[in-house]
Structure 1
Amino acid sequence: MNALSTFLRDRRRRLDPAAFGLPAERRRVPGLRREEVAQRSNISATWYTWLEQGRGGLPSADVLDRLAKGLMLTDPERDHLHILAFGHPPEQRYRQVEAVSQRLQHVLDAMPLSPAIIRTATWDVLAWNLAATVVLTDYSKLPRDGRNILRLIFADERVRAAQDDWRAVARYVVGAFRADAARAGAGSEIAQLVDELCTASPEFRAMWDDNEVTGIRDGIKRLHHATLGTIELEFSSFSVEGRPDLTMMVYQPVAPEVVDQISALITQKRQS
């Protein structure tokens, strides 16, 4: 018996038959029967039995995905199933996300003077802290589809004017967006956005057609802020654990006095 078969048997025995509306008669071993898992996974009972016994060769990726669904595996468990079979995680399946958990929001809010956001692989901003609203953009005042960073860079004149070197920033964003979307398997999800921007912005079309890919995850950003003047922000990007399609971006003012100025802006916003 190999590691794959052991893992399948272990997860099968953890399932409660009653949760699936199955008869509650006495069973020799806990969990579902092999034929029940096979039926839920749309494969033959013989083939599933062979897999648990370590016989019959490796299943295809499609079979593993059906087994993951039939065994109600979590995403990390599904990844582990593929690693046991093939030695590597499965191909990325992009999942659109509408919001972040309260815990992630608490992480952002725990950095009160450092602008921070969480974005998706398609560069939609999902969450932000108060510092981000007074330094970057007040995303709460934008419609949901207006919170896409590419739309802001190429279609929002205020955001464009705030960039110290707009062309360099735009080129970086397009290259990173292309890399992130491809890595997350979100090619079909970005098609409409890319078409929209190609039609609306000749500059975007030219940069997109260049096929550049960038992967810079930290650096210095210079902004022309309406109240603070020209400021420099160190930025770093972090993948969210267990959610590689989500990225946290944190900005830290380089000049100490800017921190106090951001604090004053936040106080004004809270009082308004």
Structure 2
Amino acid sequence: MAQETVVPRTAPPAAPSVSEVRRHEVAAFLRHRREHLTPEQVGLPRGRRRRTPGLRREEVAQLSAVGVTWYTWLEQARDIQVSVQVLDALARALLLDPSERAHLFQLAGAVDPTPATACPSITPAIRRLLEQLEPVPACVQNSRYDILAYNRTYGLLLCDLDAVPPEDRNCLVLSYTHDDWRSAIVHVAEAQRLMTARFRATMAGHLAEPGWKMLLKRLRTESAEFREVWDRHEIVEHRSRRKEFMNRYVGRVTVDHTDLWLGPEAGPRMVTYAPADEESRLRLEKLHAIALERAAPVA
């Protein structure tokens, strides 16, 4: 009696996991960007024996301040942990534009910790409103004190804000580390204390978010004053108050600070500084005229 041959069934291959798909997409994206950058674009010499299209892996690693082996593993889609700090460094090294940078963080399943230069709250109508409020200084901030947009009077109120890199345009960072900004605040110690206390109160709802953690780490690293105030564990809610600034162009101005929230939650808000007296009004008008003159094109 013939024996029946039993053919073992082969299990279908397992579908790749989401994390595996992400790793391969990140690897392909980084490799594509690396191969389409020239050494001249990132300030490196080309050399005579270059055969690799674009940049070499070791050059990207050098520009990003990461290990060559580690970066190689990243392009090979190895199962390694990639921090938001490393993603930020790679985005800068590879000269990613805002959309490419957002794509990289999305592929990696991470949240971009840097202040957004394009915020959904900053609509053309909001920008027009900021302009129409002049000479009253006004800006839009998020709950982390990042300055997302501002009018020309605000741009000269505490320092030359246009000269500050976008990633440094944060009221907390500026109040603790920027000499011009600090010197323009008449009661700087009190302002720092209140901002730090409000930042602590708001951060309670964002403890796990990379952007908030990186900002806190930066402040604690760069300012002993901040560390001392932060460790008091004071909590203060947002409220309108009178402020005094010593402007380098027009002198002392007294203003009433008002927060105008742009949504139902305590997220982005428009901050306005209405003059509290006639002298301050005249000085803000003069400051606005100076800002207009600086912004005028050279004939």
TM-score scaled by length of structure 2: 0.55
**In structure 2, C-alpha distance between the alignment counterparts of 1:142 and 1:116, rounded to whole Å:** 17
Match of 2:257 among 230, 235, 246: 235
Structure having the higher Rg:
2
For the residues of structure 2 that align with 1:157 and 1:104, how far apart are their CA atoms? 30
The CA distance in 2 between the partners of 1:239 and 1:157, in whole Å, is: 29
Q: Which amino acid aligns with 1:219?
A: R
Q: Secondary structure at the match of 2:260?
A: strand
Change (3 A) 1:216 1:121: closer
Quick one: structure 1 residues 104 and 185, their matched pair in 2 at CA, closer, same or farther if it must change by over 3 Å? Answer: farther
1:144 match: 166
Q: 1:101-157 deviations in whole A, cap 9, x for unaligned?
A: 111111211201110110111110000011112323332221111101111000011
In structure 2, the CA distance between the partners of 1:194 and 1:185, relative to structure 1 (3 Å rule), is: closer
- Secondary structure at the counterpart of residue 227 of structure 1: coil
Q: Is the 8 A contact 1:132 1:138 kept in 2?
A: no
Instruction: Tell me if the contact between 2:130 and 2:151 (Cα under 8 Å) persists in the aligned partners.
Output: yes
1:242 Cα deviation after fit = 5.0
1:270 shift after superposition? 2.0
Contact 2:254 2:277 in 1 (8 A): yes
In terms of fraction of residues, the more helix-rich structure is 1
CA contact (8 A) 1:184 1:245 kept: no
Cα distance, 1:175 vs. partner? 1.0
Gaps of 5+ in 2: 1-110, 295-299
Q: Which runs of 5+ in 1 are unaligned?
A: 1-92
The answer for the alignment partner of 1:163 in structure 2 is: 185
Kindly tell me the number of residue pairs found equivalent between the two proteins: 180
Task: Report the equivalent of 1:5.
Answer: none
Contact 1:153 1:159 in 2 (8 A): yes
Contact map agreement 1:94 1:184 (CA 8 A) in 2: no
Deviation sequence 1:65-104 (CA, Å, 0-9, x none): xxxxxxxxxxxxxxxxxxxxxxxxxxxx999643311111
- TM-score, structure 1 normalization: 0.60
Map 1:71-86; keep pairs closer than 5 Å.
Answer: none
Tell whether 2:234 aligns with 1:199.
no
Percent identical among aligned pairs is 23
- Whichever residue aligns with residue 117 of structure 2, its letter is E
Distance 1:199 1:138 in 2: 25
